[in-house]
Copies of this chain bind each other. A is one copy, B any other.
Amino acid sequence: MGKLGILAVVTVAVTAATAQTFQRLGACPDLGCVLPPDQSDFLPGQYFDLRLEVHAPVNGSEAFNNGEPDENFTVTITKEGGESKSIAEFFDVAEPELEKWDFHWYEDLFAKDAHAPSVVNVASKIYRKLAIYEPGNYVVTLKYYDGQTTTANWVVRPLATQKKAKNVILFIGDGMTTNMITAARLLGHKSINGKYQSLLQMDQFPVVGHQMTHSIDSFITDSANSASALYTGHKSTVNAMGVYVDSSADFFDDPKVETIVELLKRTWDSAWGAVSTAAISDATPIALTGHSRSRYAYGSLIDQGLNSVTNYSWTNQGGPDVWFGGGAEQFYPNSDSYEGKDYYEAFAKAGYEISLNKTSLLELGNSSRALGIFCQSHFPVWLDRNVFTENLESFKNDPLGSENPALDLPGLKEMTLKAIDILHTRGGDKGFFLMSEGASIDKQMHALDYDRALGDLLELDDTVRATINHLKEIGELENTLVLVTADHGHGFDVFGGVDTKYLSAQENDRDKRRAVGIYEQAGLSQYTVPVEGVSYGTGPNFPVNWDPRYSLAAGLSANPDHRENYRVHKKPRKVVSNTPGFSKNDLFVDSKDSPDGFVINGTLPVSESAGVHSLTDVAVFAMGPCQETFGGVYGNIDIFYKVANCLGLARPDNKPPAGPGSGCKKHQGQ
């Protein structure tokens, strides 16, 4: 499966072709909208834009005022115990111009089936680059339609202005749940009579917490929105990052919030970087710098990473000190790069050393900024890079854009260790922030390819282990807060063992299910039992046999139609396919997948080719300075505030500190 195949799976997974709940505008149940909305939290001194909208539905159940939105709405802000002021007065900014537009939506699936959209006319204003410096409670009140009001209660949190940690390394296992961690441990670590003889590195972290991952306007999140919550302290809508989603058509005019690396750059001038086994333009890495309602505006988001926000005055985060990942199609000049430009050249001009393979990655110096783009699209997964290596030849993912395969690929560990060396050198006493993502835990769970997902989870854990050892070696372990967490889950679990030989030998689907052994018949993991003649050379902490006769019975609560034989898939998995005579939104089991298995019909709309994200809280593992603040249960946005507190990023005074990026000057910090 080449680049297009991978992207197809992921794209379908996050852009639902069918839908159940429709909303006029998330975070705006009234006809008046304040964005940031009610219940928003802020870091003292954090920049944000304030969008106000007044809606006049033309038709549908909410039809109002003949579709004429109130253009004379007013808005005030009041600090608790203080007096109300207009926004312009309070923030000492000019009154913005009124904007007008319209949009449409469907009230429910019946309306959609009937092609009966509801149309809404909008009057709006946006105040840009505001900040509140004094901690406390604030109320923003929007008045419209001669007596209607929408209020937003905001909290500007009191937080530390002094650093407790010099460095922060945030590992994100995309889509990684506690259930998956448990399964990966069973694959990679041997136990005797119920006692593990070795453990995952994350098992050995002293502090565990749980974070709630839901969106602002839906109880399920995607990776853009959840990454943005982790990086900004503000929840948003599916597919958005660094902004609250307004109802205008423009993907790049939505009200922004400042991110952790923007704050870190202008506050302490620290070094920062991102490493991922996804395209570097993918949601989790790019949300550090991206401000857009659409995670799919890949090219523009890459430009924002290098050049910061350019359409409005905003913090210049200086460009990453390190970016290592995939996604070459946003770099070599082509229709997927921003304005068709050559971003390898743009980064080189900005002083970056460029690396396109593992060999040159390892040869990079530590003093220059570095861009390493090792393939098109997302990385081939750990299992294909290390066990089924013949699959690498089938990818057409050369980082220069040819149809050749990228064969000299680093792993997450090599990228992360090199990134630490560069950030440590460049950050010096100012420290650094690194986000390192195991991306395909999620992407392979979407594909129902459990072994590939868990292989990448073990790779992430192996990277965490190597990172801790490396931090010890360079004398930075005591100074570094290390976090391992996820952005959301998938409803995965292991429920038994399978005699794959027996399953394959049965004639019909119902008999095949007898091969599933539960409770005491689940047996012991055979993935850690050496087999003569089988060696992958992948060392400890990984399975010694990926294809035992007695395998794991595992699955997801949300599935397309699929077939299971519970064996490792020697080729990347594709569970459904278009069927001649049926619509391309009417998918059935792919006849080539797990042919000796039994069919399980899905629980998702038949247009879905992949599994989907789930609700579950995900774990946070913490060690280092401030580790004690990460126990218990909290929202994903709280991780931003805990990290900001540990990094002393709050500015509870009226003066932004001097430093790069505090004005509009560009490319500072090169």
Contacts and interface: CB of A to CB of B under 8 A. Distances in A.
A216 to B, nearest CB: 4
Contacts of A497: 20-21, 219
A521 interface: yes
Nearest to A525: B219
Contacts of A492: 491, 493, 557
Contacts of A423: none
B217 A193 contact: yes
A109 B511 CA distance: 12
B21 A557 contact: no
Given A612-B496, A614-B493, A219 B553 contact: no
Contacts of A556: 493, 557
Contact of A178 (B210, B521, B602, B635): B210
A257 to B, nearest CB: 13
B215 A109 contact: no
Contact of A20 (B181, B193, B215, B515): B515
A26 B520 CA distance: 9
Contacts of A220: 494-496, 518-520, 522
Given A196-B212, A220-B519, A615 B524 contact: no
A555 B601 CA distance: 13
A205 B632 CA distance: 6
Interface string A507-521: 001100111111111
Given A182-B212, A558-B553, A615 B222 contact: no
A19 interface: yes
Contacts of A555: 491, 557-558, 603
Contact of A521 (B16, B183, B522, B637): B16
A186 B219 CA distance: 8
B493 A557 contact: yes
A209 B206 CA distance: 9
Contacts of A179: 177, 179, 489, 491, 614-617
Interface stretch (A36-44, A270-278, A434-442, A570-578): A36-44
Contact of A186 (B22, B519, B615): B615
A502 B239 CA distance: 26
Interface string A97-111: 000000000001110
A183 B219 CA distance: 10
B218 A522 contact: yes
Interface in A184-210: 185-186, 191-196, 199-200, 202-210
A156 interface: no
B219 A522 contact: yes
A617 B109 contact: no
A347 interface: no
A20 B498 contact: yes
A644 to B, nearest CB: 18
Contacts of A219: 186, 494, 497, 522-525
Contact of A524 (B217, B495, B514, B599): B217
Contacts of A495: 220, 491, 557-558, 603-604, 612-615
B499 A20 contact: yes
A139 interface: no
A116 to B, nearest CB: 14
Contacts of A109: 499, 502, 514-515
Given A110-B502, A178-B617, A558-B495, A20 B519 contact: no
A194 B557 contact: no
Interface in A522-577: 522-525, 550, 553-558, 564
B605 A520 contact: no
A235 interface: yes
Nearest to A110: B502
A350 interface: no
A237 interface: yes
A25 to B, nearest CB: 11
Contact of A616 (B178, B206, B490): B178
Interface in A604-650: 604-606, 608, 612-617, 619, 631-633, 635, 637
Contact of A602 (B216, B221, B513, B520): B513
A18 interface: yes
A76 to B, nearest CB: 20
A139 B604 CA distance: 54
B20 A494 contact: no
B513 A606 contact: yes
A21 to B, nearest CB: 3
Contacts of A513: 602-606
Given A209-B208, A520-B215, A617-B181, A489 B493 contact: yes
Contacts of A214: 186, 191, 194
A56 interface: no
B203 A633 contact: yes
Contact of A14 (B21, B108, B519, B614): B519
15 contacts: A16-B518, A18-B517, A109-B514, A110-B502, A179-B616, A182-B615, A200-B633, A204-B633, A218-B522, A219-B525, A493-B616, A494-B557, A494-B616, A513-B605, A518-B558
Interface of A: 14, 16, 18-23, 26-27, 37-41, 108-110, 177-179, 181-183, 185-186, 191-196, 199-200, 202-210, 212, 214-222, 235, 237-239, 489-499, 502, 505, 509-510, 513-525, 550, 553-558, 564, 586, 599-606, 608, 612-617, 619, 631-633, 635, 637
The 9 closest A-B pairs by CB, nearest first: A20-B517, A21-B523, A491-B493, A495-B558, A19-B521, A555-B557, A494-B615, A238-B520, A194-B235
